[in-house]
Amino acid sequence: MKINLPAHWSDFIKIFTKKHKEDIVYDTVRVFRTEEEIRERYDTYEFEEYLPGYIPVADDSGGQVAVISKDSSNTKVYLSSYGVLQEKYFEVLDRDLLHWMQRKFPFERERNIISPAEIEKREKENMVWTQKISSFPGIIEFLEEPVSIEGLALPENYASAETIYYFQDGYHYNSVENKVLTEDVPGAFKPSWIVLASNYFADPFFIDLNEAEDNFPVYFAYHGQGKWEPIKVAESLTAFQKVLHQIQNLRFDKSGLKECFDENIDLENPLWKEVYTNIQDEDDDSEQIETYESWGKEVNLYITDIGPNKMKIIALLKKELGLSGTEALQLSKEPKILFRTGYTKWLEHDRKQLEDLGAKVEFEILG
């Protein structure tokens, strides 16, 4: 049976094969260059049985494998293991293959070993959570009709009703430390809150199960602030979904989108204010982005001022540069921080991401 490889893989492999001639890159990473190589791993490790919706694209020569979805609309690169090919244990390695290549194909080396007892416990917890939400059609409808909007700090990732508990990792519990994170005290994530979606920065959109009579107002909170401060962003799940549909329908009509915000949305709300600013910045930056892409130069991307959202920048430095919390904090105090080296076309997303967080950045052309 022929594997239909998504177009973004074909685009990636053309660039990769021009750049890399050796079989193993960066000491351990083997990128599968042809459909035949992919087919060999696909058949050997029985992807058709365990992960029929995914394709192996690279491994770390040590049991870990990077996979992508057969769905061409999903460009994310996921980390799995040849020994445990289960979607619910995926971790996101990167937003797409080209960006992953730009970062030199990092694989997470330290793996959390989950005991059979812990797996069984989590499966039972998931059953309980699934039963909790099954009696609320509004929640199920919201999850079954996701409106994913990239680049504006709005929901990009949605929970599945069947695996709702696993989506709470990082909010209700920490799967690495096997630690419960919820407490019914100020600043903590409340036990009655359920995360239904998150944006690119893992900032959660959630509801309170105790507010069913109010049709579940939707809340948002910034991740990595040291405490959780919920911001109400919609009076109900239905209202929130309606707004998301409006934004999605006007996504490429900037004037119409800004008019919609001006007339219908509370711009004093921190989230909606941030979204509105992102929309304005897209207009302001469109000519500049085109110029950067036309250069195609290799550059250093520096942070020259971390701006007002210090904790979010520190969290980003920790994640993207592989630093400890202490190291990221220390680096954030430097007057000029090297964030990434690469070609301008590939660094535009990083530039915008940093500026969306309030940081000031600059490119420095190499050579």
- Encode pLDDT of 284-304 as tens digits: 444 443 433 444 677 899 999
Domain covering 296-365: architecture: 2-Layer Sandwich (3.30)
Extract long-range pairs of 115-124: CB within 8 Å, 24+ residues apart: 118/178, 122/165, 122/166
Instruction: Find the Cα–Cα–Cα–Cα dihedral 184, 188, 191, 196, rounded to 10°.
Output: 150
pLDDT at 69: 95
**Residue 287: what pLDDT?**
42
Cβ-contact 13, 33 below 8 angstroms? yes
Q: What is the pLDDT of residue 239?
A: 94
* Average confidence (pLDDT) over 76-98: 88
Calculate the CA 197 to chain-centre distance. 11
**Residue-level pLDDT at 312:** 85
Distance between CA atoms of residues 3 and 72, nearest Å: 13
Which tokens in the block code for residue 17? 């094969």
pLDDT score of 149 more than 50: yes
Q: Among 104-108, 139-143, 318-322, 323-327, which range has the highest average pLDDT?
A: 139-143
Torsion-angle region of residue 27: left (phi > 0), alpha (psi -120 to 50) or beta? left
**Is residue 205 over pLDDT 70?**
yes
252 against 266, higher pLDDT: 266
What token pair was written down for 247?
């934004």
pLDDT in tens, 209-221: 999 999 999 999 9
Distance, CA of 233 to chain centre: 20
CATH architecture of 7-102: 3-Layer(aba) Sandwich (3.40)
Mean pLDDT to the nearest integer, 311-319 = 85
- Segment 325-332 shows an average pLDDT of 85
Question: Domains of the chain: which residue ranges?
Answer: 7-102, 116-273, 296-365
What are the Cα distances from residue 287, in Å, to 265, 291, 360?
28, 6, 18
Confidence class of residue 356 from pLDDT cuts 50, 70 and 90? confident
Q: Residue 121's pLDDT is what? A: 87
Residue 283 has pLDDT above 60, yes or no: no
Please give the mean pLDDT across all residues of the chain: 86
Higher pLDDT, 293 or 356: 356
Give the range among 58-72, 103-117, 154-168, 330-344 with minimum mean pLDDT: 103-117
Q: pLDDT confidence of 194, banded at 50, 70, 90?
A: very high
At 367 the pLDDT is: 65
